[in-house]
Every structure is written in C-alpha cells, then in structure tokens.
Amino acid sequence: MSVRSLIDRPRLDQLPEWKALARHRKSMAKTSIADLFAADPRRGSKYSTEALGIHFDWSKHLVSNETMKLLFALAKASGVEGHRKAMFKGEKINITEDRAVLHTALRAPADAVIKVDGENVVPAVHDVLRRMGTFSNQIRSGKWKGHSGKAIKNIVNIGIGGSDLGPAMAYDALRKYSSRDLTIRFVSNVDANDFYEKTLDLDPTETLFIVCSKTFTTLETMTNAHTARKWILKAFDGDAAASAKHFVAVSTNADEVAKFGIDTKNMFGFWDWVGGRYSMDSAVGLSTMVALGPKGFRELLDGFHDMDEHFRSTPMTRNLPVIQALIGLWYADFWDAGTVAILPYDQYLDRFSAYLQQLEMESNGKHTRLNGKHVKWGTCPAIWGQPGTNGQHAFYQMIHQGTRLVPADFIVFADPVNKIGDHHDKLVANVFAQTEALAFGKSVAEIEAEGVPAWLAPHKEMEGNRPTSTFLCDKLTPRMLGRLIAQYEHKVFVQGSIWQINSFDQWGVELGKKMAQAMIPELKSKDRPKLAHDSSTNTLIRKYRDLRGRK
Ligand code: F6P
C-alpha cells in the first residue's frame, strides 16, 4: 500500500463495514455478557487466542461471532494489512515528519535486511548493540572507573517521556534478573525534588549519568543534566575532566551531545525512524542493558521480535494485537467508553500502565486524519491503572458499580517469579474472581435469597456486564516482557491505522513546551515583566512573583 493511498482512504464512518457495526451495536443493546455465555457453553475456550506463551481470553467481552466478523471486515476494508506491510518495509508512514517507522528493526536479527532510503539499517543497529554491550560489561565488571579511580556503583538515567518511562518500567519489571550490585535510578522531572531525592544518598565518585534524549534539547533533561554536571564537578573540586568518566549520552543528535560536553565516543546513537515512545529497545535501553547484561537485553529484544513476527504473519483472526485492537475500538467507538484500565497482577509491573499511557495516548490521542481533516469518530481512550490486588481496595468499586463502562485488561503470570508460600495462588484467584464478578455480577434476587433485607439489597447489587480481557502469560521474563510490550505497540498501530491518524508524531505537546520556555523569563526576571497573557495567566504570574518576593 502506498503512503498516498493511506492518506486518500475514504472516511471511516462512511465505510459500509462501519455502518454495519453501528447497526449491529443497536442489535447488541440488550445482550449481556451472561447471555452470550448462556448461549454457548464453550465460549470460554472458543473466544480465546494462544500465542507465544500468552493465553488471551477475550470471552468476557460484549462481542459475538457477528461482532468479530464485522470488526475483522472493518480492519480489512481500512487497509490495515497494507499499512502494516508499509511499516515493516520502512516506508515513510509518519507523513507529518517524513519518517519511516521502524522500531521493529531495533530487534531484528543481525542477518535481516530492512532498508530506509535504500540503505540497510540492521548492521548499524547491531553495531550500537555491540557498543552498548561493551559498555555494560565494563560497568558490570567494575572495569569502567570513575575519575577518582573507583568503580561505578550507581547509574542514573536522566530522561523524560520515551527516554525515561520504558527504561524505568523495564528496570522495575525485570528487577529479579538485574544485577543487585548496582543501584539504578531514573530522574525525569524538571522539579528539583526529583534530582535531589534520587541523588541524596549517592556518592558522586561512584555515579555515572546516562543522559538520554532523542533530541538532546528537552528542557527537563537538559536542566537535570546541567545540575548533574555541577553535582559531579563539585565532588572533584571543579575538575572539568571528571565529566568524561561520569557521563555518557544516548541521542540522535551528536551536535547537541558534543555541545553539552560529552565526547561523542561516549554517545550511543539511534535514528529518527525510532519514535521516543517506541525507543526502549534502542540505545535508550542502555540502563536496562546495564541492569540485565547484554544477554538479558537480547532476550528482551527477542521477545519483541517474536511478537513482531506474530503480528506480521498471523492471520487477523488469530492475531493477538489485532484482536485486542479491534475489541478496544469496538468499545471506544460504539460503546462510548472513554477509558481503558490496565491492571497487571504483578508488583514488578508497577510502572506498566504509566508506560502504556504514553505509548497509547501520545500515539493515538489525535483528532486530525492523515488527510488533514478532523475525525468524525472517537480515537484513543484514556489509559490508566495500577497493579492488582492494590487497585481492588481503591478504585475497583467504580468499575464494579459505577455508571461508566471501563473495559479492563487483566495481566497475570502463571509461574511466579518469587515462590513464597501461597501468595501466588491467592493473587491469581483474585484475577479470576474479579473478571468473573465484573462479567456476571450478582442480582438483587440472589442477594435477597442470602437473607439480605430488601432495602439493602440494591446497594449490594452487582450488575455485571463489565467487559475484561485476561492475559494469562507463562512467566515474567525479559522475553515475555518484550512480547507484551510489542503486543501493545501493534495494538496501537492497528487502532491508529483504522482511525486514519498518524500514530507516530506528537504535535500536541509542542505548544505548551514553547509557551513554558517563553514564560521562564517572565517568572525569573528581576524587573517587573510586561505581561500580555489572558487575565488568569497574568494574575497567576504576578501572584507567583509576589510569593517569591519578586517585583
Ligand atoms: O514532549 C514529548 C516528547 O517529545 C516525547 O515524545 C519524548 O519521548 C519526550 O518528549 C522526550 O524527548 P527526548 O527524548 O527528545 O528528550
């Protein structure tokens, strides 16, 4: 499929397949999940898909055979398969930035051939991986010495957004497979409290900063990087030579790296065809590689690649990310669901939903079609969540008995990473119980039959009919984490493709960034600034200056 034909697609809501889904939605209005189960005793096994150690149970959704048939037809009519081919081939499908979208090349095997502008990018990918491997081994073995000759014990990644969330999430997720001799921290916020707390107990002579930024111009990252340099230099009485042993950079922008004062031989590069939120498997994953070692990092990449191959070559009706995407789109567009909850039942996945927030919302939170016109349909819902079981004692009340539909992804692993007593059986029981309760609920009659007085029974009523996906995965390993992340990446791709938006730019973040830059002098200046904002913003600026004792 040519990029031009992607842009020129007819309006989504005018496709006969879309209209058929809208009609079908009406016919489903009175069907409940319980009805669907009653009509088909084998639904639980039939409406599930198995691949790569992931058992995806999608039976507890408001979908029938007909729904799925229509959704697959919509994906076909939307040209998802051609779009997918164009992405894997390195065509410039990120049209607003004129870039290819090739995060899949980051995890391709060394003998793969993937071309951008006629050049095979795979050798360069593996070259960077080798350099990352050498560096990681030097840190892990204590061979890399700080300026005072001491080995490095602390790694601090400075980055934000895609240059932070992926590595920070992966470090937590794979703690069990990580070196325990190293302390690895992540500083992202421009709020000084972040830098202060993350470095408070660290010895600068044993600390190395990875300054991680695709552009190397991001306000937060550069502010933190300058503060880090001062912190290091202070420990070495201002000896500028110290920074060579205490800073490395990850970026696509060698000029800015050099300008900052990091020797580009200590820079690990990546390319403009890797989006920030798709970059944790590029050099942006340097802290992950330091933690896991090169072999563990390769396993992570192999997991991504497994899912790439599954997505690329499995028929749509058995394709995990495609099915997940279509069911999500069904709720977002035809049931008006404004959110999706991500509920991993694994404490190591504490940061997983925060990671997916950027992946999904920065990719598909858009209202402009590839052809420049405004969409006439809903796009990305809000993504949120917390690990279970904690969330059960906080916000699940609303999912069970609230007035809004919240489709949820439950993610759990069969084989526990830490086997202690019967914790894991209790954990898994909670997953299965929650999804059963959400789907089937409990009626007032059932509650009264248990002796609950009639006035109280309605308060205890559980309407059920709350849709969930369950991903029962083998075990949380580097490879499995790679598979899961790639699954969500491709889910986002499929949805963005059908919505006819560009999932790979992020213009929506620009205006606020520029306005903040312009406002900094208005807050800092010694003299009273002339303000020309709206009256609310002017008042806030004046109030802040006043509170800080400025004119
Ligand atoms: O502000 C959004 C964003 O551009 C993200 O897309 C990106 O991941 C993040 O900022 C950080 O950007 P960089 O890696 O260039 O510092």
User: 363-408 pLDDT, tens per residue?
Assistant: 999 999 999 999 999 999 999 999 999 999 999 999 999 999 999 9
**What pLDDT is stored for residue 100 in this prediction?**
97
Closest of 463, 421, 426, 466 to residue 444, by C-alpha: 463
Catalytic residue among 220, 360, 362, 489: 362
SS3 at position 268: strand
pLDDT tens column, 288-344: 999 999 999 999 999 999 999 999 999 999 999 999 999 999 999 999 999 999 999
Say how many C-beta atoms besides its own lie within 10 A of residue 51's C-beta. Answer: 18
Task: State the Cα–Cα distance between residues 226 and 220, nearest whole angstrom.
Answer: 10
pLDDT tens column, 216-270: 999 999 999 999 999 999 999 999 999 999 999 999 999 999 999 999 999 999 9
Are the beta carbons of 354 and 277 closer than 8 angstroms? no
Signed CA dihedral, 79, 505, 331, 27: sign only: negative
**What pLDDT is stored for residue 290 in this prediction?**
98
Closest of 507, 509, 502 to residue 94, by C-alpha: 502
Are the beta carbons of 19 and 111 closer than 8 angstroms? no
What is the full DSSP assignment across 310-364? HHHHS-GGG-HHHHHHHHHHHHHHHS---EEEEEES-GGGTTHHHHHIIIIIIHH
SS3 annotation, 441-490 = CECHHHHHHCCCCCCCHHHHCECCCCCEEEEEEEECCHHHHHHHHHHHHH
Task: State the Cα–Cα distance between residues 343 and 337, nearest whole angstrom.
Answer: 17
**What pLDDT is stored for residue 43 in this prediction?**
98
461 is catalytic: no
- Given a cut of 90, whether residue 156 has pLDDT beyond it is yes
User: Atom 3 of ligand 1 has which residue's CA nearest to it?
Assistant: 161
CA distances from 10 to 83, 316, 370 (A): 15, 22, 11
End-to-end CA distance of the chain: give it in Å, rounded: 60
Q: Which atom of ligand 1 is nearest to the CA of 284?
A: 14
SS3 at position 222: helix
β-pair type (48-51, 54-57): antiparallel
Closest of 499, 105, 142, 477 to residue 305, by C-alpha: 105
Residue 2: which pLDDT band, with cuts at 50, 70 and 90? Answer: confident
Task: State the Cα–Cα distance between residues 500 and 372, nearest whole angstrom.
Answer: 10
C-alpha 31: how far from chain center: 33
Residue 438: which pLDDT band, with cuts at 50, 70 and 90? Answer: very high
**What pLDDT is stored for residue 329 in this prediction?**
98
Q: 312-321: string of b/e by CB count within 10 Å (b at 16+)? A: eeeebeebbb
Tell whether ligand 1 has an atom less than 6 A from the beta carbon of residue 220: no
Tell whether ligand 1 has an atom less than 6 A from the beta carbon of residue 157: no
- Structure letter (DSSP) for residue 280: T
pLDDT tens column, 55-97: 999 999 999 999 999 999 999 999 999 999 999 999 999 999 9
SS3 at position 58: coil
- Structure letter (DSSP) for residue 151: B
Q: Which atom of ligand 1 is nearest to the CA of 509?
A: 1
- Residue 290: both structure tokens together: 């330091």
| Best mutation site among 163, 252, 513 for ligand 1 pocket (most ligand atoms within 8 Å of CB) | 163
pLDDT tens column, 175-210: 999 999 999 999 999 999 999 999 999 999 999 999
393 is catalytic: yes
Residue 419: which pLDDT band, with cuts at 50, 70 and 90? Answer: very high
Say how many C-beta atoms besides its own lie within 10 A of residue 127's C-beta. Answer: 12
Q: Is the bond into 389 cis (omega within 30 degrees of 0)? A: yes
Catalytic residue among 265, 393, 419, 530: 393
| Best mutation site among 214, 284, 356, 357 for ligand 1 pocket (most ligand atoms within 8 Å of CB) | 214
**Residue 99 CA, ligand 1 centroid: distance in Å:** 16
- Given a cut of 80, whether residue 1 has pLDDT beyond it is no
Tell whether ligand 1 has an atom less than 6 A from the beta carbon of residue 509: yes
CA distances from 5 to 82, 91, 195, 421 (A): 10, 13, 48, 58
User: Atom 5 of ligand 1 has which residue's CA nearest to it?
Assistant: 161
Query: Residue 32, exposed/middle/buried by CB under 10 A (0-12, 13-18, 19+)?
Result: middle
Tell whether ligand 1 has an atom less than 6 A from the beta carbon of residue 162: yes
Tell whether ligand 1 has an atom less than 6 A from the beta carbon of residue 279: no
**What pLDDT is stored for residue 112 in this prediction?**
97
- Given a cut of 90, whether residue 449 has pLDDT beyond it is yes
- Residue 364: both structure tokens together: 């598909």
Are the beta carbons of 230 and 195 closer than 8 angstroms? no
